[in-house]
């Protein structure tokens, strides 16, 4: 029977909860979070695929596709899979060296929201492992944890700010921000210009202290140092963000009809910058800040055994 198409019952393995303390203490810590999610519970899962690219080239990998039929894809905005145990029938340890440091990554379906027609498809995540030897025939056991970011489960999981372009020069206020200790201010163009002048003056003073006096050289070096400083204007929304608990999961823009508008997000000179290359932000656009919390982070355990390798 082909493992790529069969549904396999989820088996609760006590060993997941009884890992040796010494082994747990050596694991690399994951990214900082606003709150620890609830204890992991066994997931209702379905195996959708087993991919094994046994190659010595640049892209060797062994991956399981795991479907979570109880969680609509539009609800899970981000996910991560931590493989705790992966062993083949030869006894080879296939757990990646960096497995414990896997980060919550945005899901493609979660970014697009609910489908316009028909029921929402289920969430699918992928468990990545090391490649088994060519002689291996089975994955004897693959187990670990799936963590999902589902902001709809928390009333304070999202803060929406309609007509965001009208809020330049103002701090944003919302119960969800207050609940997670997040502070956000939208800089006006005048504030961006003032901050840039302040940074230019500080850089110029530093260079002069180092003994540089020639004006042309000073100008060139200051411009070079501030090359990535936010410029503002119609192509950027510049934010001053204080997020002490690392609660912010994502910041998104939607138009007046609720359709997502994509932007690049980066840290520049201590500011968070949303950058637009094609369509410029419109007056009716809304900015949504999605935040992690104890309620919005969902953890499940999973176990699969005796999976035939392709």
CATH number of the domain within which 281 lies: 2.60.40
Say if residue 76 is in the same domain as residue 145. yes
Q: Are residues 51 and 117 in the same domain?
A: yes
Task: List Cα–Cα distances, 223 to 51, 234, 236, 249, in angstroms.
Answer: 50, 21, 19, 33
Please give the pLDDT value at position 8. 40
In a domain, 1, yes or no: no
Cα angle 60, 62, 64 (rounded to 5 degrees) comes to 150
Residues 254 and 287 in one domain: yes
- Number of structural domains (the chain) is 3
Name residues whose C-beta falls within 8 Å of residue 160's C-beta, 6 or more positions apart in sequence.
Answer: 174, 286, 287, 288, 289
Looking at the structure, tell me whether residues 139 and 22 fall in a common domain.
yes
261 and 282 housed in the same domain = yes
pLDDT at 127: 94
**Cβ within 8 Å of residue 63, ≥6 positions away:** 49, 50, 51, 52, 126, 127, 128, 129
pLDDT at 113: 57
CA-to-CA separations, 4 to 8, 87, 224, 239, 309, in angstroms, rounded: 10, 18, 54, 46, 9
Chain center to CA of 15: 29
**Distance from C-alpha of 180 to C-alpha of 158, rounded to nearest angstrom:** 11
pLDDT at 37: 56
* In a domain? residue 4: no
**pLDDT tens-place values along the chain, 310 residues long:** 444 444 443 333 333 333 333 333 333 444 445 555 567 888 899 999 999 876 665 566 799 999 999 999 989 989 999 999 999 999 999 999 999 888 888 887 666 555 566 677 899 999 999 999 989 999 999 999 999 999 888 988 889 999 999 999 999 999 999 988 999 999 999 999 999 999 999 998 999 888 888 888 888 998 898 888 998 888 899 999 999 999 999 898 999 998 888 888 899 999 999 998 778 899 999 999 998 888 889 999 999 999 999 8
Q: CB-hemisphere CA count at 13 Å for 77?
A: 21
The predicted structure's pLDDT at residue 110? 60
Same structural domain, 168 and 242:
yes
243 occurs within a structural domain: yes
Which residues fall within 8 angstroms of residue 177, CB to CB, at 6 or more apart? 159, 183, 184, 289, 291
| Judgement on whether residues 142 and 25 belong to the same structural domain of the protein | yes
Q: Are 229 and 269 in contact (CB under 8 A)?
A: yes
pLDDT of residue 212: 84
Q: Give the model confidence (pLDDT) of 107-143 as tens digits.
A: 876 665 555 666 778 999 999 999 999 899 999 999 9
Helix (H) or strand (E) holding 88: strand 78-88
What is the reported pLDDT for 262? Answer: 80
The residue range of the domain holding 222 is 190-229
Please check whether residues 180 and 240 belong to one and the same domain: yes
């Amino acid at each position: 029977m082909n493992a790529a198409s069969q549904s396999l019952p989820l088996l609760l393995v006590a060993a997941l909860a009884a890992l040796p303390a010494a082994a747990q203490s050596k694991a690399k810590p994951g990214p900082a979070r606003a709150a620890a999610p609830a204890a992991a519970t066994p997931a209702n899962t379905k195996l959708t695929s087993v991919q094994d690219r046994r190659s010595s080239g640049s892209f060797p990998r062994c991956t399981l596709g795991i479907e979570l039929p109880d969680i609509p894809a539009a609800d899970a905005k981000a996910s991560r899979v931590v493989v705790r145990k992966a062993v083949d029938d030869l006894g080879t340890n296939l757990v990646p060296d960096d497995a414990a440091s896997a980060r919550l990554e945005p899901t493609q379906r979660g970014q697009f929201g609910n489908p316009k027609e028909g029921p929402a498809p289920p969430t699918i995540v992928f468990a990545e492992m090391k490649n088994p030897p060519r002689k291996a025939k089975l994955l004897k056991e693959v187990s670990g944890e799936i963590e999902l970011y589902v902001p709809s489960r928390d009333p304070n999981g999202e803060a929406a700010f309609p007509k965001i372009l009208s809020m330049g020069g103002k701090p944003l206020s919302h119960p969800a921000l207050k609940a997670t200790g997040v502070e956000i201010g939208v800089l006006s163009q005048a504030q961006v210009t003032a901050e840039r002048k302040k940074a230019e003056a500080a850089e110029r003073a530093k260079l002069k202290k180092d003994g540089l006096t020639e004006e042309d050289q000073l100008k060139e070096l200051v411009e070079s140092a501030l090359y990535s400083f936010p410029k503002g204007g119609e192509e950027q929304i510049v934010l001053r963000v204080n997020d002490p608990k690392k609660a912010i999961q994502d910041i998104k823009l939607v138009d007046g009809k609720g359709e997502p508008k994509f932007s690049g997000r980066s840290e520049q000179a201590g500011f968070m910058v949303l950058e637009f290359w094609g369509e410029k932000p419109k007056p009716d656009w809304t900015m949504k800040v999605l935040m992690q919390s104890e309620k919005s982070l969902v953890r499940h355990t999973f176990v699969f055994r005796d999976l035939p390798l392709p």
